[in-house]
Amino acid sequence: MIEKYSVRTDLALEQKERFESDNVEVQGVVLEEEYDEEREIRITTVKIETENGARTMGKPVGTYITMEAPNMTVPDEGYHEEISEELLKHMKQFAKLEKEDYAVLVVGLGNRKVTPDALGPYVVDNLNITRHIVKEYGKYAMGEEQAHLISAIVPGVMGQTGMESVEIIRGIVNETKPDLIIAIDALAARSSRRLNSTIQIADTGINPGSGVGNHRNAITKETVGVPVIAIGVPTVVDAATIVNDTMENLIEALENSETLRGVSVVMQGYNAAEKYELIKELISPHLNGLFVTPKDIDETVKRISYTISESLNMLFSGGHAHNH
């Protein structure tokens, strides 16, 4: 790995994998994996238990659950229901909505006008918002056994509002006093195969450096005063990462290929560090602000946002999926 060239990823799982490829055991970080063969969903839990682990991983102490489902990009309603139910199962571990009138504020981060960054706003569009109804008519108006007070906000991005998302949320928290915040956000991944087929849930809230537009300060229990659960889906990959991977593959190919031996001889003069120095020079600085997203992103983000909002609606109503 090119250490000096920082690899952009918001997935704890990918951070952990970097160390594994270097055969480094990270102290204070525990990894658990389970694979649901029937549904083809891989669940990886990364627990960062110590400050040392947090420093090494560059992520706060807490639990990060990653659901990987390669078929998530496919428009198969039945499969998306299964993902909603799986997500619901993990959300229940994080969001213990014990008491009856539990108040949850859902925050859809991101920019509605930029599709790969519109996941949060889209999720909020599909939520069953109940706070006003329960406040006005009492919980029986909902016809549910459990009526939680669900409110939601799409704070927009600073270019539109002139305010950091965290400032807006703090104001709302002071005014409406929710018990819990669930924040939904688009992420950047390290590997293009995880795009739009991975959901990360974390009980650490949202920390700067994450997200597509990088358009906010930390939204955590420390900064807003109530626990924050973050749900994120990687919708973009850093362009420099793609180039970096291609270069690494090229070097490997040069070393293993008969036909490319000629080029390889030139490269043989370089040691590993020099090769990577060369790659680093070749990775254009212009790529730094460039993110790449799949071409069917419109459809995919709409579909995944619906899958997430279905899961949240089930969580809040205490009910289950309405199987068709």
Using one digit for the tens of pLDDT, what is the confidence trace for 149-165? 899 999 988 888 888 89
Domain boundaries of the chain, sorted by first residue: 12-235+295-316, 242-287
- Whole-angstrom Cα distance, residue 248 to residue 83? 34
pLDDT over 70 percentage in the chain: 80
pLDDT of residue 228: 95
Q: Under 8 Å CB-to-CB from 183, ≥6 apart: which residues?
A: 106, 107, 109, 120, 205, 206, 219, 228, 229, 230, 231
Per-chain mean pLDDT for the chain: 81
pLDDT of residue 12: 83
Q: Under DSSP, is residue 200 helix (H, G, I), strand (E, B) or coil?
A: strand
The whole-number average pLDDT for the span 23-33 is: 76
Yes or no: say if 301 and 119 are a contact pair by the CB < 8 Å rule. Answer: yes
pLDDT digits (tens, 9 = 90+) for 282-310: 776 777 678 889 898 999 999 999 999 99
pLDDT digits (tens, 9 = 90+) for 70-96: 888 787 888 888 889 889 999 988 887
Query: Domain 12-235+295-316: which CATH class?
Result: alpha beta
Q: Under DSSP, is residue 268 helix (H, G, I), strand (E, B) or coil?
A: helix
Yes or no: say if 169 and 155 are a contact pair by the CB < 8 Å rule. Answer: yes
Yes or no: say if 118 and 131 are a contact pair by the CB < 8 Å rule. Answer: no
Sign of torsion over alpha carbons 9, 152, 65, 296? negative
Written as six digits, the tokens of 116 are 């790969």
The whole-number average pLDDT for the span 177-181 is: 94
